[in-house]
């Protein structure tokens, strides 16, 4: 049944991607890699389509969880069925890449690497879909998102701003206030704002992460000139 369950989880993913004019590049163990953009879409819509594909995948996750619970009953309670998605936008190399012995049609470049990093970064914040700053910028008002953090990933010295993709308009203001206060090292204001976010939605794990960070930074003050960025050096 486990193999059937894995296949049942993956089967709708290509549809979520292709219905938003994306291309499934490869399946890697329990991951799916996809890309989009010209010539499959116009230059001004591929970021929005990628976000729509991610939200479609999330809807499938919810339906799949219900289906597994109906089939397995209480046994499903021990299963951790979830997904994480990273979306990054930028110039990439597309083509048959490899050696004479073995080649595959794929994409390469910094945006590909960043997308992979963002997928993993979800684990820290308890989020499911993280966007790069460029993706958020291009998608504009077509999506709902909140700024999540300023981070440094493996292989990059400059920080990158990241955003959480949401399926509805975010609560107005409090998380943004907390984030601004945090970067200004106004710990008390930041703690009050993040605690308010948790009172509003107990599932707001990102606010809980910031409260833990603030406790650490109060005991270990940042160096002079700290920009509020957080290091994610592991791959």
Residues 6+ apart with CB under 8 A from 170: 144, 145, 146
Predicted model pTM: 0.91
List the pLDDT tens digit at each of the 235 positions of the chain. 667 777 787 888 889 999 999 999 988 878 899 999 888 888 889 999 999 999 999 999 888 888 888 887 877 777 778 899 999 999 999 888 888 788 888 899 999 999 999 999 999 999 999 999 999 999 999 999 999 999 998 777 789 999 999 988 887 689 999 999 999 999 999 999 999 999 988 889 999 999 999 999 999 999 999 999 999 865 5
pLDDT computed for residue 2 by the predictor: 67
**Each residue of 155-178: b (16+ CB within 10 Å) or e?**
eeeebbbbbbbbeeeeeeebbebb
CA-wise closest residue to 111 among 44, 21, 50:
50
Taking a C-beta distance cutoff of 8 angstroms, is the pair 66, 88 a contact? no
Helix ranges (DSSP H) in the chain: 2-10, 12-18, 46-72, 110-125, 133-139, 174-183, 187-200, 205-219
pLDDT computed for residue 77 by the predictor: 75
Taking a C-beta distance cutoff of 8 angstroms, is the pair 191, 214 a contact? yes
pLDDT computed for residue 230 by the predictor: 93
pLDDT computed for residue 234 by the predictor: 52
Q: For residue 96, count other CB atoms closer than 10 A to its CB.
A: 8
Q: What element of type H or E holds 148? A: strand 144-153
pLDDT computed for residue 38 by the predictor: 85
């Amino acid at each position: 049944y486990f193999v059937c369950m894995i296949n049942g989880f993956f089967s709708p993913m290509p549809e979520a991607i292709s219905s938003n004019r994306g291309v499934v590049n490869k399946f890697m163990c329990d991951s799916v890699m996809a890309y989009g953009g010209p010539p499959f879409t116009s230059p001004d819509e591929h970021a929005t389509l990628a976000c729509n594909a991610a939200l479609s995948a999330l809807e499938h996750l919810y339906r799949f969880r219900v289906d597994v619970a109906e089939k397995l009953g209480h046994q499903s309670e021990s299963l951790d069925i979830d997904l994480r998605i990273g979306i990054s936008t930028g110039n990439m190399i597309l083509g048959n890449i490899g050696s004479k012995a073995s080649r595959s049609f794929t994409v390469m470049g910094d945006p590909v690497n960043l997308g992979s990093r963002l997928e993993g970064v979800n684990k820290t914040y308890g989020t499911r879909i993280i966007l790069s700053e460029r993706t958020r910028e291009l998608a504009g008002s077509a999506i709902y998102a909140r700024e999540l953090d300023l981070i440094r990933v493996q292989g990059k010295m400059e920080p990158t701003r990241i955003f959480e993709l949401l399926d509805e308009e975010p609560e107005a203001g409090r998380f943004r206030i907390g984030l601004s206060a945090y970067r200004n090292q106004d710990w008390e204001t930041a703690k009050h704002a993040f605690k308010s976010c948790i009172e509003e939605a107990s599932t707001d794990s990102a606010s809980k992460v910031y409260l833990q960070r603030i406790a650490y930074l109060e005991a270990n003050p940042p160096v002079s000139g700290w920009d509020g960025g957080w290091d994610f050096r592991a791959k």
